[in-house]
């Protein structure tokens, strides 16, 4: 027998036994496990060193954007209110689409985007550090159910509230707008259309939530975007009815704000101005819904609407526009159909 051949045949068997043993160790103890994904992505444009401004903004400010094409003047307004510094964008999906666009406007030290995709990431020390050191915070569009499912009740929510407490401007577009009021349509079962909402205010897609975030000036408010292009006035009226019917807010304190696409509402210390090309709508009920029940069409009468389309302002505290800067009309839901007091019956 050739002992060399025998030794050569033994080495493969020995290697196989060692590989099997290593696999058992890996499965049992995780010795060779891959590093756990961070659950977030981070993008930076500009200076990596944290900017330190000499003082905080003197008053709170909120920016609501109605979705669609972004409004350049809205971002410039936030930068001006903050006095520069570090602009932070948060989102669950997407990447750094805002970075170069906003950075090129000037007036900021940096812009950072955090794509925060898990609840663990919403409590990550690095993520929280970037939020806490921001001078401006903007919530991108997407799906607001992601924001509620992944961010509500986390350290991220606490950090955002602390940021607002320091008067740092906060804003959001589309889904980002939807989570800035005291009450939110959260789309946990997908979107809802006006006809379906009016026909049954408690249908399975009418998923509402409250007090995830409440941006300055938005107490008692539920807000909606894409109002004109997606015909959302009916569902906004129904959201408002639900907040009253569910006893989340009194008739006297319930409020709704709707924005057209390519339109922003800039709120400084409770005084709002319109930016962009569309209109802003301010809804205030005068009486409680007559019928707001599961399986029945909504009856909700005499909801006062102020449409801000020009260069005037709207005072959220008094819920009025000085100098008659808005067009005022009444909306009612009668057996699930909207009726307007405007000439021609227009609801917008």
Tokens of 51: 């900017």
Strands 110-116 and 170-173 come out as: unpaired
- Residue 139 bridge partners (DSSP): 90, 172
- CA–chain centroid gap for 247, Å, is 24
Q: How far apart are CA 272 and CA 111, in angstroms?
A: 25
Q: What is the pLDDT of residue 35?
A: 52
Q: What is the pLDDT of residue 228?
A: 95
Q: What is the largest CA-CA distance in the chain?
A: 110
Q: What is the pLDDT of residue 324?
A: 87
- Residue 113 bridge partners (DSSP): 43, 89
What Å distances lie between residue 7 and 4, 18, 306, CA to CA? 5, 16, 91
Q: What ranges in 152-285 are assigned the alpha helix state H?
A: 155-165, 175-178, 194-199, 233-245
Q: What is the pLDDT of residue 37?
A: 73
- Answer for the pair 146, 92: CB distance below 8 angstroms, yes or no: yes
- Answer for the pair 271, 321: CB distance below 8 angstroms, yes or no: no
Q: Any idea of the CA torsion for 198, 202, 207, 212, to the nearest 10 degrees?
A: 100
Q: How far apart are CA 164 and CA 59, in angstroms?
A: 10
Rounded to 5 degrees, φ, ψ at 342 are -70, 150
Length of the chain: 348
Q: Is the dihedral of CA 216, 219, 222, 228 positive or negative?
A: negative
- Answer for the pair 255, 221: CB distance below 8 angstroms, yes or no: yes
Q: Which residues contact 46 (CB under 8 A, 6 or more apart)?
A: 103, 108, 109, 110, 111
Q: At what angle do helices 155-165 and 125-132 cross, to 10 degrees?
A: 10
Q: What is the pLDDT of residue 24?
A: 34
**Which letter does DSSP use for residue 299 in this model?**
B
Q: Could you read off the pLDDT tens digit of each residue along the chain, which spans 348 residues? A: 433 333 343 333 433 343 444 333 323 233 334 456 789 999 999 999 999 999 999 999 999 999 999 999 999 999 999 999 999 999 999 999 999 999 999 999 999 999 999 999 999 999 999 999 999 999 999 999 999 999 999 999 999 999 999 999 999 999 999 999 999 999 999 999 999 999 999 999 999 999 899 999 999 999 999 999 999 999 999 999 999 999 999 999 999 999 999 999 999 999 999 999 999 999 999 999 999 999 999 999 999 999 999 999 999 999 999 988 999 999 999 999 999 999 999 999
Q: How far apart are CA 66 and CA 173, in angstroms?
A: 6
């Amino acid at each position: 027998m050739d002992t060399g051949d025998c030794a050569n045949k033994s080495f493969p068997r020995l290697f196989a036994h060692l590989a099997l043993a290593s696999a058992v160790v890996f499965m049992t103890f995780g010795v060779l496990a891959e590093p756990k994904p961070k659950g977030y992505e981070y993008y930076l444009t500009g200076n990596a060193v944290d900017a330190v401004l000499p003082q905080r903004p003197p008053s709170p400010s909120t920016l609501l954007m109605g979705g669609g094409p972004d409004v350049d003047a809205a971002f410039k307004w936030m930068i001006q209110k903050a006095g520069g510094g570090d602009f932070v964008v948060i989102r669950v999906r997407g990447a750094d689409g805002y970075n170069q666009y906003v950075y090129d406007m000037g007036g900021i030290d940096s812009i950072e985007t955090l794509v925060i995709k898990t609840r663990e990431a919403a409590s990550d020390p690095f993520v929280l550090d970037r939020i806490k050191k921001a001078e401006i915070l903007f919530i991108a569009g997407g799906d607001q159910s992601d924001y509620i499912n992944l961010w509500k009740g986390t350290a991220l929510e606490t950090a955002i509230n602390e940021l607002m407490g320091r008067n740092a401007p906060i804003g959001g577009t589309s889904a980002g707008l939807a989570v800035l009021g005291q009450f939110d349509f959260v789309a946990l079962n997908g979107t809802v259309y006006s006809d379906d909402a009016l026909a049954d205010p408690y249908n399975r897609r009418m998923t509402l939530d409250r007090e995830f975030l409440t941006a300055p000036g938005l107490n008692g408010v539920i807000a909606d975007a894409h109002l004109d292009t997606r015909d959302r006035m009916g569902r906004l009226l129904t959201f408002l009815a639900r907040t009253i019917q569910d006893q989340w807010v009194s008739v006297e304190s319930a409020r709704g704000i709707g924005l057209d696409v390519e339109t922003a509402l800039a709120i400084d210390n409770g005084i709002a101005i319109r930016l962009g090309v569309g209109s802003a709508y301010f809804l205030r009920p005068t009486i409680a819904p007559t019928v707001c029940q599961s399986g029945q069409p909504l009856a909700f009468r005499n909801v006062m609407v102020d449409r801000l389309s020009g260069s005037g302002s709207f005072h959220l505290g008094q819920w009025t526009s000085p100098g008659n800067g808005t067009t005022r009309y009444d909306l009612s839901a009668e057996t699930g159909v909207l009726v307007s007091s405007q000439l021609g019956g227009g609801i917008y």
